Amino acid sequence: MSPSTSRGRDPATAAGATAPVLTIDGPSGSGKGTVSRMVAHALGWHYLDSGALYRAVGLAAAWEQIDLSDAEAVAACASRTVIRFDGDGEGEPKVWVNGKDATHQLRMETAGAAASAIAAHPPVRSALTDLQRSFRTDPGLVADGRDMGTVIFPEAPFKVFLTASAEERAHRRHKQLKEKGVSVNFDSLLHEISARDERDASRAVAPLKPASDALFLDSTGRSIGEVVQHVLALVPESMRRP
């Protein structure tokens, strides 16, 4: 992840707008966050966690007591929200939202649900488009989300759609949350994840779907290491970290 967001930089003229992009889209819990971070680290490329941007805007809107169904109000909030990522490329970066450390809060399923609700509004997606594209800087970018390969970086030379069965995804999320000291009921998590995927896949704008030129990878029963190797194999040696 770039050390901080860069509002104000013109994505069309930013140095590195021609940098290679590897997009990894997929449903929640498919492992794309972990895989993307590991792949970015191995390549020596930047990493964009676009879901964190939607989560951050959902959180900022909630802090401002904005009605999440009010598309214009949430879009205005998206435009003024300052999101900063802090990390060294290994492990999950810290996320600061309007100067507050929101790392823990953003990983909660409530933040995921709020993100999914606001992400269905076209003006909110537009408000975040340039910001996402501004992460494309040399030597390259690994971008993870739902519409990275279809809408934000349709010209990306490397695209993956990563999925896994709903049960396996809920198990992974359950384990992840448990490791963070958050106790959640497995059945309700499975239900929430399935509902979120259904909403993400059926929305009118930028729905969750594989780009026609994406490599489709099912990670059910595969280790993270195996998936990472599979994804890395897409990128020619000459473009990798020496």
Smallest separation, CB 200 to ligand C5P (Å): 4
Q: Which tokens is 101 given? A: 């450390």
- Cα–Cα distance, 164 to 172 (Å, whole number): 10
Residue 115 sits in the site that holds ligand C5P (CB under 6 A): yes
Residue 192 sits in the site that holds ligand C5P (CB under 6 A): no
> Is the Cβ of residue 44 or residue 202 nearer to ligand C5P in the bound state?
202
- Cα–Cα distance, 70 to 117 (Å, whole number): 10
Smallest separation, CB 124 to ligand C5P (Å): 9
Smallest separation, CB 50 to ligand C5P (Å): 4
Residue 116 sits in the site that holds ligand C5P (CB under 6 A): yes
> Is the Cβ of residue 177 or residue 239 nearer to ligand C5P in the bound state?
177
- Cα–Cα distance, 94 to 34 (Å, whole number): 15
Residue type at position 207: P
Residue 51 sits in the site that holds ligand C5P (CB under 6 A): yes
Q: Which stretch binds ligand C5P (CB under 6 A): 1-9, 83-91, 108-116, 176-184?
A: 108-116
Closest Cα to residue 132, out of 156, 111, 116, 113? 156
Q: Where are the beta strands (DSSP E) in 87-203?
A: 94-97, 100-101, 141-145, 158-163
Q: Which tokens is 36 given? A: 């993307």
Of residues 4 through 33, those in contact with ligand C5P by CB under 6 A are 28
The single residue listed with the structure tokens 């359950």 is 174
Tell me if 144 sits within 8 A of 33, measured CB to CB: yes
Of residues 131 through 170, those in contact with ligand C5P by CB under 6 A are 145-147
> Is the Cβ of residue 167 or residue 240 nearer to ligand C5P in the bound state?
167
Smallest separation, CB 196 to ligand C5P (Å): 5
Residue 173 sits in the site that holds ligand C5P (CB under 6 A): no
Tell me if 227 sits within 8 A of 217, measured CB to CB: yes
Tell me if 24 sits within 8 A of 160, measured CB to CB: yes
Residues that bind ligand C5P (CB under 6 A): 28, 50-51, 54-55, 112, 115-116, 119, 145-147, 196, 200
